[in-house]
Structure 1
Amino acid sequence: MAKIMVVDDAAFLRAILKDILVTGGHEVVFEAKNGQEAVEKYKSMRPDIVTMDITMPVMEGIEAVKEIRKLDPEANIVMCSAMGQRNLIIEAIQSGAKDFIIKPFQTNRVLEAIDKAFVN
Protein backbone atom coordinates (compact mmCIF):
# COMPACT_ATOMS: atom_id res chain seq x y z
CA MET A 1 0.00 0.00 0.00
CA ALA A 2 1.42 3.35 -1.07
CA LYS A 3 0.86 6.63 0.77
CA ILE A 4 -0.15 9.07 -1.95
CA MET A 5 -0.57 12.83 -2.25
CA VAL A 6 -3.10 13.83 -4.94
CA VAL A 7 -2.47 17.24 -6.54
CA ASP A 8 -5.09 18.80 -8.83
CA ASP A 9 -6.84 22.16 -8.83
CA ALA A 10 -10.20 20.51 -9.62
CA ALA A 11 -11.84 19.05 -6.50
CA PHE A 12 -13.97 16.59 -8.49
CA LEU A 13 -10.87 15.16 -10.22
CA ARG A 14 -9.12 14.78 -6.85
CA ALA A 15 -12.20 12.92 -5.61
CA ILE A 16 -12.26 10.59 -8.64
CA LEU A 17 -8.55 9.86 -8.33
CA LYS A 18 -8.79 9.34 -4.55
CA ASP A 19 -11.64 6.87 -5.07
CA ILE A 20 -9.62 4.88 -7.63
CA LEU A 21 -6.53 4.83 -5.39
CA VAL A 22 -8.35 3.90 -2.16
CA THR A 23 -10.34 1.18 -3.94
CA GLY A 24 -7.01 -0.07 -5.32
CA GLY A 25 -5.68 -0.49 -1.78
CA HIS A 26 -3.68 2.71 -1.38
CA GLU A 27 -3.92 5.51 1.16
CA VAL A 28 -4.40 9.14 0.11
CA VAL A 29 -2.57 11.11 2.81
CA PHE A 30 -3.17 14.61 1.43
CA GLU A 31 -4.92 16.47 -1.38
CA ALA A 32 -3.32 19.67 -2.69
CA LYS A 33 -4.99 22.16 -5.01
CA ASN A 34 -1.83 23.59 -6.59
CA GLY A 35 1.87 22.94 -6.98
CA GLN A 36 2.97 25.33 -4.26
CA GLU A 37 0.77 23.61 -1.68
CA ALA A 38 2.11 20.24 -2.89
CA VAL A 39 5.75 21.31 -2.43
CA GLU A 40 5.05 22.65 1.08
CA LYS A 41 3.19 19.50 2.18
CA TYR A 42 5.77 17.18 0.59
CA LYS A 43 8.39 18.56 2.99
CA SER A 44 6.46 17.41 6.06
CA MET A 45 4.51 14.40 4.74
CA ARG A 46 7.03 12.65 2.45
CA PRO A 47 4.41 10.52 0.66
CA ASP A 48 5.50 7.44 -1.30
CA ILE A 49 3.97 8.83 -4.49
CA VAL A 50 2.59 12.14 -5.74
CA THR A 51 0.02 12.37 -8.54
CA MET A 52 0.54 15.80 -10.10
CA ASP A 53 -1.73 17.68 -12.46
CA ILE A 54 0.18 19.68 -15.09
CA THR A 55 -2.00 22.78 -15.45
CA MET A 56 -2.78 24.53 -12.15
CA PRO A 57 -2.88 28.07 -10.73
CA VAL A 58 -0.19 29.48 -8.37
CA MET A 59 2.46 26.90 -9.38
CA GLU A 60 2.24 24.64 -12.43
CA GLY A 61 2.80 20.90 -12.05
CA ILE A 62 6.11 20.76 -13.92
CA GLU A 63 7.59 23.50 -11.72
CA ALA A 64 6.32 21.64 -8.65
CA VAL A 65 7.97 18.41 -9.89
CA LYS A 66 11.30 20.24 -10.16
CA GLU A 67 10.92 21.71 -6.67
CA ILE A 68 9.96 18.37 -5.10
CA ARG A 69 12.87 16.64 -6.85
CA LYS A 70 15.22 19.26 -5.34
CA LEU A 71 13.89 18.28 -1.90
CA ASP A 72 13.97 14.56 -2.66
CA PRO A 73 15.77 13.34 -5.80
CA GLU A 74 14.11 9.93 -5.30
CA ALA A 75 10.55 11.32 -5.26
CA ASN A 76 8.00 9.20 -7.12
CA ILE A 77 5.76 11.51 -9.14
CA VAL A 78 3.09 10.49 -11.65
CA MET A 79 1.83 13.30 -13.88
CA CYS A 80 -1.84 13.70 -14.78
CA SER A 81 -2.73 15.48 -17.99
CA ALA A 82 -5.54 16.07 -20.41
CA MET A 83 -5.35 14.71 -23.92
CA GLY A 84 -3.26 16.80 -26.29
CA GLN A 85 -0.56 17.84 -23.81
CA ARG A 86 2.13 15.58 -25.27
CA ASN A 87 4.88 18.22 -25.20
CA LEU A 88 4.11 18.95 -21.54
CA ILE A 89 4.19 15.24 -20.70
CA ILE A 90 7.64 14.94 -22.27
CA GLU A 91 8.83 17.96 -20.29
CA ALA A 92 7.38 16.44 -17.10
CA ILE A 93 9.22 13.15 -17.65
CA GLN A 94 12.45 15.05 -18.35
CA SER A 95 11.87 16.97 -15.10
CA GLY A 96 11.73 13.74 -13.12
CA ALA A 97 8.20 12.34 -13.28
CA LYS A 98 8.13 8.53 -13.37
CA ASP A 99 5.00 8.09 -15.48
CA PHE A 100 1.86 9.88 -16.61
CA ILE A 101 -1.85 9.19 -16.74
CA ILE A 102 -4.33 10.81 -19.11
CA LYS A 103 -7.66 12.35 -18.11
CA PRO A 104 -10.35 11.14 -18.03
CA PHE A 105 -8.87 8.60 -15.65
CA GLN A 106 -9.07 4.90 -16.41
CA THR A 107 -8.87 2.81 -13.24
CA ASN A 108 -6.51 0.15 -14.63
CA ARG A 109 -4.09 2.71 -16.07
CA VAL A 110 -4.02 4.75 -12.84
CA LEU A 111 -3.23 1.69 -10.71
CA GLU A 112 -0.64 0.46 -13.22
CA ALA A 113 1.18 3.83 -13.11
CA ILE A 114 1.08 3.86 -9.29
CA ASP A 115 2.44 0.30 -9.10
CA LYS A 116 5.20 1.15 -11.56
CA ALA A 117 6.21 4.27 -9.63
CA PHE A 118 6.05 2.50 -6.27
CA VAL A 119 8.51 -0.26 -7.19
CA ASN A 120 11.02 2.11 -8.82
Structure 2
Amino acid sequence: MTLEKEIRKLARLHCANFNAATETECLYYDKPCRYFNEKGRCSYFETAVLPSDEALQTRYWNAITGDAQPVYCAYCGEPYERKSNAQKYCRKCAPRVEREMRRLRDREYRQRKRRNQEEISRF
Protein backbone atom coordinates (compact mmCIF):
# COMPACT_ATOMS: atom_id res chain seq x y z
CA MET A 1 0.00 0.00 0.00
CA THR A 2 1.30 3.47 -0.80
CA LEU A 3 2.11 6.01 1.89
CA GLU A 4 -0.83 8.22 0.91
CA LYS A 5 -3.31 5.33 1.13
CA GLU A 6 -1.98 4.28 4.54
CA ILE A 7 -2.29 7.84 5.85
CA ARG A 8 -5.83 8.13 4.55
CA LYS A 9 -6.74 4.80 6.16
CA LEU A 10 -5.25 5.89 9.49
CA ALA A 11 -7.17 9.19 9.33
CA ARG A 12 -10.41 7.40 8.47
CA LEU A 13 -10.06 4.81 11.25
CA HIS A 14 -8.44 6.74 14.11
CA CYS A 15 -8.87 10.50 13.67
CA ALA A 16 -11.40 11.81 16.19
CA ASN A 17 -12.23 14.75 13.91
CA PHE A 18 -13.01 12.65 10.87
CA ASN A 19 -16.71 12.90 9.99
CA ALA A 20 -17.84 9.38 9.12
CA ALA A 21 -21.23 10.57 7.84
CA THR A 22 -19.76 12.51 4.92
CA GLU A 23 -16.60 10.35 4.61
CA THR A 24 -14.53 13.41 3.64
CA GLU A 25 -15.15 16.27 6.08
CA CYS A 26 -12.98 17.28 9.00
CA LEU A 27 -14.75 18.46 12.15
CA TYR A 28 -11.61 20.26 13.34
CA TYR A 29 -11.24 22.59 10.36
CA ASP A 30 -14.92 22.78 9.27
CA LYS A 31 -13.88 21.96 5.73
CA PRO A 32 -12.92 18.85 3.76
CA CYS A 33 -10.30 16.61 5.33
CA ARG A 34 -6.90 17.47 3.90
CA TYR A 35 -5.94 13.84 3.44
CA PHE A 36 -8.92 13.10 1.21
CA ASN A 37 -9.26 16.14 -1.03
CA GLU A 38 -5.94 17.95 -1.21
CA LYS A 39 -2.34 17.20 -0.42
CA GLY A 40 -1.95 19.17 2.76
CA ARG A 41 -0.82 18.76 6.33
CA CYS A 42 -3.08 18.56 9.36
CA SER A 43 -1.47 19.57 12.64
CA TYR A 44 -4.01 17.58 14.67
CA PHE A 45 -3.39 14.43 12.65
CA GLU A 46 0.41 14.82 12.89
CA THR A 47 0.43 15.28 16.68
CA ALA A 48 -2.46 13.12 17.89
CA VAL A 49 -3.08 10.33 15.39
CA LEU A 50 0.14 9.65 13.50
CA PRO A 51 2.32 8.73 16.55
CA SER A 52 0.19 5.61 17.08
CA ASP A 53 1.94 3.94 14.11
CA GLU A 54 5.68 4.42 14.47
CA ALA A 55 6.67 2.91 11.12
CA LEU A 56 4.14 5.00 9.21
CA GLN A 57 5.17 8.11 11.14
CA THR A 58 8.81 7.62 10.15
CA ARG A 59 7.91 7.13 6.49
CA TYR A 60 5.62 10.18 6.61
CA TRP A 61 8.29 12.52 8.06
CA ASN A 62 10.94 11.15 5.71
CA ALA A 63 8.67 11.97 2.77
CA ILE A 64 7.95 15.49 4.07
CA THR A 65 11.52 16.41 4.99
CA GLY A 66 12.88 14.89 1.80
CA ASP A 67 15.18 12.36 3.46
CA ALA A 68 16.05 10.03 0.63
CA GLN A 69 17.16 7.02 2.69
CA PRO A 70 14.94 5.90 5.57
CA VAL A 71 16.61 3.69 8.17
CA TYR A 72 15.34 0.12 8.51
CA CYS A 73 15.65 -2.18 11.51
CA ALA A 74 18.20 -4.96 10.95
CA TYR A 75 15.94 -7.45 12.76
CA CYS A 76 12.36 -6.82 11.58
CA GLY A 77 12.96 -4.61 8.55
CA GLU A 78 10.55 -1.85 9.61
CA PRO A 79 11.58 1.81 9.18
CA TYR A 80 12.37 3.70 12.39
CA GLU A 81 13.81 7.00 13.55
CA ARG A 82 17.45 6.60 14.46
CA LYS A 83 18.56 8.16 17.76
CA SER A 84 22.31 7.63 17.19
CA ASN A 85 24.60 6.58 14.35
CA ALA A 86 25.37 3.24 16.00
CA GLN A 87 21.72 2.20 16.36
CA LYS A 88 20.82 -0.83 14.23
CA TYR A 89 17.48 -1.94 15.71
CA CYS A 90 14.15 -0.26 16.36
CA ARG A 91 13.11 0.15 19.97
CA LYS A 92 10.72 -2.82 19.78
CA CYS A 93 13.42 -5.23 18.57
CA ALA A 94 16.42 -3.92 20.55
CA PRO A 95 15.59 -5.72 23.85
CA ARG A 96 14.93 -9.00 22.04
CA VAL A 97 18.19 -8.81 20.09
CA GLU A 98 20.12 -7.89 23.23
CA ARG A 99 18.72 -10.95 25.05
CA GLU A 100 19.71 -13.22 22.16
CA MET A 101 23.22 -11.75 21.98
CA ARG A 102 23.66 -12.05 25.76
CA ARG A 103 22.50 -15.68 25.60
CA LEU A 104 25.09 -16.42 22.92
CA ARG A 105 27.90 -14.67 24.83
CA ASP A 106 27.03 -16.54 28.03
CA ARG A 107 26.90 -19.89 26.22
CA GLU A 108 30.32 -19.32 24.65
CA TYR A 109 31.75 -18.20 27.99
CA ARG A 110 30.48 -21.34 29.75
CA GLN A 111 31.90 -23.56 27.00
CA ARG A 112 35.34 -21.90 27.28
CA LYS A 113 35.21 -22.26 31.04
CA ARG A 114 34.34 -25.98 30.76
CA ARG A 115 37.20 -26.59 28.31
CA ASN A 116 39.65 -24.83 30.62
CA GLN A 117 38.46 -26.91 33.59
CA GLU A 118 38.88 -30.12 31.58
CA GLU A 119 42.43 -29.15 30.58
CA ILE A 120 43.35 -28.37 34.18
CA SER A 121 41.90 -31.65 35.47
CA ARG A 122 44.05 -33.67 33.01
CA PHE A 123 47.24 -32.65 34.75
TM-score grouping bracket, smaller chain normalisation: under 0.3
| Structure with greater strand share of residues | 1
| Structure with greater helix share of residues | 2
Q: Looking at CA atoms only, which structure, 1 or 2, has the larger radius of gyration?
A: 2
TM-score norm. by structure 1 comes to: 0.26
Q: Which has the higher contact order (CA 8 A, sep 6+)?
A: 1
TM-score norm. by structure 2 comes to: 0.26
